[in-house]
Amino acid sequence: MPAFPCFSYNLSRRTLLLLALIIAAPGKLAAQSCPDMTPWLSLAADDDSWVTIESQLTPLMSRCLQDSNYFALLGAAQLNNGRLGSALESLERALLLNPDNGGAQIDYAQALFLQGQLFSALAMNEKLLARNDVPQDVRNLLQQRQQSWQSMTRQTGFLAEILAGHDNNLNSAPSPSQITLTLSGDSVVLPLNPEYQPVSGPYLNMRLAARYRQLTPQNQHNAILEVRGRVSEDRSSDMAQIDLRYAFIHPGSPLSWQASTAVNNLFYGGSPLYTATEAGGQIRMGGLSGCTPFLVAAAQHQLFHEQSRLNAVEGKLGIGGHCALNGASSQQVSAELSLLGNHPMHGNRPGGDRRGWQMTVDWQQPVGQGQLLVQLSHTRLQDSRGYNPLLADGAQRWLRRTYGLFQYSRPLNERLTLQLNLYRQYQGSNLELFRSTDATAELGVRYTF
């Protein structure tokens, strides 16, 4: 019946009007009190007439409650006028009265797509293609729409990023220039070798990433491969990282959940440092006022290639929440509180078991023409036994680590984004060797394709 104005392949009004007349099943005749829709069908050939059509059809509703063609045309007008909720209601009424109303099926598929119900839209469009009374030119356009929507179920994207910056501690060295050792019960102060003191200087950060997402009616599959690198004049602190992640997501209401796994390889100073293998999961629950609480758990195996006694298994168990501020997806805040545990694979690791907790807060807010991301984190860890007899007379080590990240990104065009990162970290400890600070500032661009 109605034309399909939102069709992305510019299907002409006259073609769709013809389609409506051809493939709309005859069904029962409308009640005599409901006027013939033909005058409004002719008016629908003009793109600017949809407001007029809706205003003229709305007062007729009480006379056309049993007319499928009336609700199909009213739904098309509402769809063209941007009233998606009303259009869905009218088109559903048209199909309840006549499930074979071809014009209503065309518009209903588009309305479902605009509402985000991709697979329901695909099913309705496929139902149209299964009909044997659709003209070939219209069938071709419906097939193009089906292919376009189907392509959205498999998405591949690539990212390249380059940032130049300055770091006041490229080698993650301790801040004190000297440490205190305990020798035969006496404290002895020794200066640190210059190569173990912080190295400051410029650096270049590079990142390449490939992302793949596949959607199914019930689930979602995400895979990410990232390669990162940092180079500077201090070659001994150059880093490279290869990260592969996969997530299986099952959305639902009131519960949704995901399971994930990851493998991370870190190279430092040109040599492999460690490989981490991780598995985890998350459960999200329906919340109130735009907030979603969640539970998270993860386990990670840490393999150090040059120092096997540092090999360990680390566990994490946490709770948190994610909120959209003022109902806007661009304004978000999330918080997570987690318990941490790290158990060595070998009994001779300094400090033994390590336990603690971590609190993180993320805040995202539009600023000007860009987006500001603020991330704050605080971690506390405690060893189960003395770290080393030479350090504080064998005291158990504790760590307090706090960092803040301020990131501002602004799109320059559809693919290119300008990015500014400011990062600050402070680590305190009862052992001087583990006290450090780090501050970086970097500016660069991100390109997606």
The whole-number mean pLDDT for each consecutive block of 10 residues of the chain, a chain of 449 residues, reads 36 44 42 80 77 92 93 93 94 95 93 93 94 89 93 95 98 90 82 88 98 94 98 95 98 91 96 97 85 96 95 98 79 96 93 97 95 98 94 94 98 97 98 96 97
Residue 102 phi, psi dihedral angles, 5° rounding = -65, -40
Q: Which pair of structure tokens corresponds to residue 323?
A: 């909120």
Q: How far apart are CA 196 and CA 199, in angstroms?
A: 9
Other Cβ atoms less than 10 A from the Cβ of 138: the count is: 21
Whether 174 contacts 51, CB under 8 Å:
no
Give the end of a domain, one of 151, 169, 197: 151
Would you give the end-to-end CA distance of the chain in angstroms? Answer: 40
CB 223 within 8 A of CB 212: yes
Q: Which of 120, 151, 182 is the last residue of a domain?
A: 151
Q: How many residues does the chain have?
A: 449
For residue 5, the model assigns a pLDDT of 34
* DSSP class of 391: B
Note whether 92 and 191 are same-domain residues.
Answer: no
Residue 326 falls within a domain, yes or no?
A: yes
Are 374 and 343 within one domain? yes
Q: What is the CATH number of the domain that holds 388?
A: 2.40.160.40
Residue 3 placed within a domain: no
Domain count for the chain: 2
8 assigned to some structural domain: no
Domain of 427 in residue numbering reads as 154-448
On whether residue 111 sits in a domain, the answer given is yes
Residue 332 lies in a domain: yes
- Say how far apart CA 233 and CA 11 lie, in whole Å: 60
Q: Judge if 201 and 275 occupy the same domain.
A: yes
Which pTM value belongs to this model?
Answer: 0.77
Residues 98 and 190 in one domain: no
Query: Is 378 a member of any domain?
Result: yes
**Domain identity same for 62 and 97:** yes
Q: Are residues 135 and 159 located together in one domain of the fold?
A: no
54 with 74: CB under 8 angstroms?
Answer: yes
| Domain end (from 118, 151, 184) | 151
In a domain, 265, yes or no: yes
Q: Do 38 and 187 share a structural domain?
A: no
According to DSSP, the residues that pair with 264 across neighbouring strands are: 243, 276
> Is residue 253 one of the residues assigned to a domain?
yes
Instruction: Write down the pLDDT at residue 329.
Output: 66
| Residue 23 and residue 61 share a domain | yes
- What is the pLDDT, as a whole number, of residue 328? 64
**370-386 and 178-183 as β-strands: parallel, antiparallel, unpaired?**
unpaired
- 347 with 430, same domain: the answer is yes
Please report the pLDDT score of residue 263 as a whole number.
98
Report the pLDDT value the prediction gives residue 15, as an integer from 0 to 100. Answer: 44
Cβ contact 75:104 at 8 Å: yes
284 and 240 belong to one structural domain: yes
How far apart (Å, rounded) are the C-alpha atoms in residues 281 and 249?
Answer: 10
Q: Which of 15, 42, 8, 13 has its CA nearest to residue 137?
A: 15
Interatomic CA distance for residues 243 and 265, integer angstroms: 6
Strand partners, 342: 314, 354
What's the pLDDT score for residue 118?
93
Check whether residue 189 and residue 137 sit in a common domain.
Answer: no
223 with 286, same domain: the answer is yes
Write the CATH number for 138.
Answer: 1.25.40.10
Q: For 414, which DSSP code?
A: S
Q: State the pLDDT at residue 252.
A: 84
Residue 437 and residue 414 in contact, taking contact as beta carbons nearer than 8 Å: no
